[in-house]
Amino acid sequence: MKKTNQNISLIIKACKEDNRAAQKRLYRLFFSYGMSISLRYSNSKVEAEEILNDAFFKAFSKIDQFDEDYDFKKWFRTIIINTSIDYFRKHKKLKLQFSDEIISDETADNFGWDKLLYEDILKKIQLLPPSYRVVFNLFVIEGYKHHEIAEQLNISVGTSKSNLARAKQKMQALLKKRAELNSFYYGK
């Protein structure tokens, strides 16, 4: 593990000197990690790649600001999340479904989330409308508070709570539908 961190430090140092081979190496090292994050915020793999490439561009543009004492993976994750939010804002004109109405969160409590495979959850998250998907990711996966989400997305705290509740309800419905199909096909 220590050797890997040393290698990454050397690669980052070379990136700070505009070494294209080092940038390519860093890209390859963190592409899968970055895709796993950007896919949660996007509608498709193509959109996720666009978000990730924008995030890499930002990371390489600001690599001089990276503090060697900080974990690169966490720094890059923040860039990907912020790039996803920027992408979401840029494409807001796609008839987002923001609502100030508060919905009860009780129906989406615990529906066996721990038993699902990552890919299954990712596919279901991608089926959520963009406004629900972004709030769901920021709150559930990234751990942001509603007031932070509201500030980043220029929505009210109530809208953030409502969109999260609706996202959970839609996720629950999608997962129940999948469970019913599995039961039908496999008799489980």
The model's confidence at residue 109, banded by pLDDT at 50, 70 and 90, is: very low
CATH class of segment(s) 106-186: mainly alpha
Kindly list the distances between the CA atom of residue 141 and the CA atoms of 28, 36, 162, in Å, as whole numbers in the listed order.
24, 12, 17
Whether 2-90 and 106-186 share one fold: the answer is: no
Q: Is the pTM of this model over 0.75?
A: no
Cα gap 45→119, rounded to integer Å: 13
pLDDT tens by residue, 50-78 = 999 999 999 999 999 998 888 999 999 99
Domain boundaries defined on the chain: 2-90, 106-186
Tell me what the mean pLDDT of segment 115-123 comes to.
68
For the domain covering 2-90, report its CATH number.
1.10.1740.10
User: Where would I find the H helices in 44-111?
Assistant: 45-61, 72-90
The confidence score (pLDDT) of residue 50 equals 95
